[in-house]
């Protein structure tokens, strides 16, 4: 267990470091500052870059060392605007987490359910409908799906005469406390994520279940006269949950920064939007922090999935 922990940590550190190098080599904060109109004096730009630890005259390895030692102490530096990255990172991670847990959670559960239903009668009408739905959902880009949902919600609002749905941000500014307002704002973006996750999980789950049925023990159980349904529900579902958890865990980590499109369209100020905005602004410290957060999340959920594995699969218990 300890070795696993260490291994995951090494991977996280390596991932974060790679992210920093990618950011610092690919992005050019000097260009971004100098392209402002009117063009600022060169000395002012250099002073600013030096104060942020982004001076391009310092070799990248030295910059990396300085950055790494700061991050080890929990200090992610400042954005190009001079704001502390740490506070922003936590705030953004919170926003993304709320969206991903709601959308991804429902999507994952729904996907497992749909996949299981589909596998119970493969090539039946229901299975084909689910399969078709899943493939269609996966084929439609998130951007199109979001606009489609907004247009539909707009229709509902117009028909109802009261704004049932709202889809700009997490809540109406000034009404931060109201749970109903938050829920109203959560529905649409979470649905976009739910659909995508459910479609993927359903396909995966269906495949796993069918594999389980055609495995040695599955065929043995059927041969002994157990009903197909019973085998699926009692045995196959249980066995497939373990790989499914791993799959969902890594999917979750990818979602955390991978929801940029959804976040942008719904003005949800989370990590994905921040990453895209920071790349566009050549903000090295912010991009590196996003990379760091992703690396840590992947390591963490991997660890959690490892921990959950024995609980879900008796064969994995020591």
Write out the binding residues for other proteins, residues 278-297 only, by CB under 8 A: 280, 282
187 near 165, Cβ under 8 Å? yes
Q: Which is nearer to other proteins, 23 or 298 (CB)?
A: 23
Q: Rule CB under 8 A: which of 147-206 touch other proteins?
A: 147-148, 150-155, 157-158, 163, 165-174, 176
CB of 182 to other proteins, least distance (A): 11
Task: Give the count of residues interacting with other proteins (CB under 8 A).
Answer: 72
Tell the residue number behind the tokens 């790494």, with chain if given. 68
The two three-digit tokens of residue 70, written as one number: 């700061």
Q: Applying CB under 8 A, does 75 fall inside the site for other proteins?
A: no
Q: Report CA-CA distances (Å) from 282 to 29, 87, 180.
A: 5, 19, 38
Distance of CA 51 to the CA centre of its chain: 32
Q: Applying CB under 8 A, does 32 fall inside the site for other proteins?
A: yes
Q: Applying CB under 8 A, does 50 fall inside the site for other proteins?
A: no
Q: Applying CB under 8 A, does 81 fall inside the site for other proteins?
A: yes
| Whole-angstrom Cα Rg for the chain | 24
Q: Applying CB under 8 A, does 25 fall inside the site for other proteins?
A: no
Q: Applying CB under 8 A, does 57 fall inside the site for other proteins?
A: no
Burial of 317 (0-12, 13-18, 19+ CB in 10 A): exposed
Q: Applying CB under 8 A, does 34 fall inside the site for other proteins?
A: yes
CB of 121 to other proteins, least distance (A): 13
CB of 12 to other proteins, least distance (A): 27
Q: Applying CB under 8 A, does 234 fall inside the site for other proteins?
A: no
CB of 307 to other proteins, least distance (A): 31
Q: Applying CB under 8 A, does 217 fall inside the site for other proteins?
A: no
Q: Applying CB under 8 A, does 97 fall inside the site for other proteins?
A: no
3-state secondary structure labels for all residues of 140-203: CCHHHHHHHHHHHHHHHHHHHCCCCCCCCCCCCCCCCCCHHHHHHHHHHHHHHHHHHHHHHHHH
Residue 178 backbone dihedrals phi, psi, to 5 degrees: -70, 120
């Amino acid at each position: 267990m300890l070795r696993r922990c260490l291994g995951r940590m090494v991977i996280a550190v390596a991932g974060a470091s790679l992210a920093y190098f990618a950011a610092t080599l690919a992005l050019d904060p000097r260009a971004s500052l100098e392209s402002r109109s009117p063009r600022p004096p060169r000395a002012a730009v250099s002073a600013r870059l030096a104060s942020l630890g982004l001076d391009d005259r310092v070799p990248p390895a030295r910059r990396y060392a300085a950055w790494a030692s700061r991050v080890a102490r929990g200090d992610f530096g400042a954005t190009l605007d001079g704001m502390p990255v740490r506070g922003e990172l936590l705030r953004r991670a919170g926003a993304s987490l709320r969206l991903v847990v709601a959308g991804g959670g429902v999507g994952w559960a729904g996907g497992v359910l749909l996949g299981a239903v589909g596998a119970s009668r493969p090539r039946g009408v229901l299975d084909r409908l689910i399969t078709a739905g899943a493939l269609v959902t996966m084929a439609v880009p998130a951007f199109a799906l979001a606009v489609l949902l907004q247009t539909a919600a707009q229709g509902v609002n117009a028909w109802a005469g009261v704004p049932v749905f709202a889809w700009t941000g997490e809540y109406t500014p000034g009404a931060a406390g109201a749970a109903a307002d938050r829920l109203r704002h959560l529905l649409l973006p979470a649905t976009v994520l739910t659909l995508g996750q459910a479609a993927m999980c359903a396909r995966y789950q269906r495949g796993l279940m069918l594999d389980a049925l055609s495995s040695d023990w599955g065929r043995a159980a059927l041969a002994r006269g157990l009903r197909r349904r019973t085998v699926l529900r009692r045995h196959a579902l249980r066995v497939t949950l373990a790989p499914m958890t791993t799959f969902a865990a890594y999917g979750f980590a990818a979602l955390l920064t991978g929801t940029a499109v959804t976040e942008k369209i719904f003005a949800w100020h989370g990590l994905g939007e921040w990453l895209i905005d920071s790349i566009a602004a050549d903000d090295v410290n912010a991009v590196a922090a996003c990379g760091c957060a992703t690396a840590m999340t992947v390591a963490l959920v991997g660890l959690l999935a490892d921990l959950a594995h024995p609980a879900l699969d008796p064969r994995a218990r020591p």
